[in-house]
Amino acid sequence: MDLQRGRIYVAGHRGLVGGAIVRHLTSRGARNLILRSHQELDLSCQAAVDDFFATERPDYVFLAAAKVGGILANSTYPAEFIRDNLAIQTHVIHSAWKHGTRKLLFLGSSCIYPRDCPQPIKEEYLLTGPLEPSNEPYAIAKIAGLRMCQAYRREHGFDAIVTMPTNLYGPGDNYHPENAHVVPALIRRFHESKLSNAPEIMIWGSGKPLREFLYVDDLARALVLLMEHYSGEEIVNVGSGLEVSIAALANAISHVVGYAGKIGFDHSKPDGTPRKLLDCGRMQALLGPTLMTNLEDGLMQTYADYRDNAPKAQIDMYPGLAQDAKK
């Protein structure tokens, strides 16, 4: 496989994961990247997607486009999360196969595993128990996408592979105060509280849930290697192997940002899944030992990205949330 000369479409290149994939491919000398913004190509429109694939004929596709968000966004807009994600992945996977794409990589999410999975989570635990209710519509859409990849492989011989990344953070994240995932949301809150000299920050939940975090450029490196070296129906978890409590994460971000106030926890708000650590034995068997960015270094680079780019990067995908917050 020649990713340097092949035509590569990165769907969602302006997002956290897509941007990191583009950075890594570019650093490795990829010459024919095909990139389209949402304004240039609406992936929820079947006709537009089919016309794009018929014209561009990409050899390889990284399907990193998705509607994503934290607990509040998932709880407030469940219809949008299931509708948009089903549409995006269905149109891209089908048109890629239809128009001769040689290989497609689909990104799942660790949140699609059952809420109370044994730890660490093995790939075969998928669909062995109930999902976390707060993001069930998103999870169901992602499960449909990975099953679609497997079905197209079985019926049509389409080389579609599925990866399951853990919780991600890094440059290019969404720092919206209501819509963001935990790391970028906390970075923004601590930064703004530092500037306003706020005496205390209250964080949703108890602070006790454990989470595994992976720096997004480490993910991108693993995805490109899997695209080059893996071809199979089995899901591949991609994680760091290290977990931290939400309370410890908040303290680490407070230290990186330089916030001097107190940190409190609102026990009336939901915690979400109590623990979520991926078993990455399959990834390690395929790729060998991989170096991972430590959390403090990753947070420092992410905070630098926030300070440099956040004002122009705040794209509100859920305008209703901001309106509700003002009432």
For the annotated catalytic residues, the residue numbers are: 138
Is beta strand 236-238 parallel, antiparallel or unpaired with respect to 160-165?
A: parallel
164-175 as b/e, with b when 16 or more CB fall inside 10 Å?
bbbbbbbbbbbb
Is 271 assigned to a binding site? yes
Residues 104 and 327: their CA atoms lie apart, in Å, by 44
Is 15 assigned to a binding site? yes
Is 16 assigned to a binding site? yes
**Preceding omega of 165 cis (within 30 degrees of 0):** no
Is 12 assigned to a binding site? yes
Is 122 assigned to a binding site? no
Q: Which residues lie closer than 8 Å to 294 by C-beta, 6 or more apart?
A: none
Is 282 assigned to a binding site? no
Is 181 assigned to a binding site? yes
Two structure tokens written together for 136 = 């069930």
Q: Read off the DSSP letter of residue 268.
A: T
Is 196 assigned to a binding site? no
Name residue 169's beta-bridge partners.
215
Is 17 assigned to a binding site? yes
Is residue 121 a contact partner of residue 210, using CB atoms and an 8 Å limit?
Answer: no
Token match 């991609």: residue?
238
One-letter amino acid of 178: E
Token match 């092949």: residue?
6
Is 97 assigned to a binding site? no
Is 142 assigned to a binding site? yes
Is 165 assigned to a binding site? yes
Is 275 assigned to a binding site? no
Task: Count the Cβ atoms, other than its own, within 10 Å of residue 10.
Answer: 27
Residue 261 sits at φ, ψ, to 5 deg, of: -85, -170
- Known binding positions: 12-18, 107-110, 142, 165-168, 181, 189, 204, 211, 271
Positions at the binding site for substrate: 189, 204, 211, 271
Residues tagged in the binding site annotation for NADP(+): 12-18, 107-110, 142, 165-168, 181
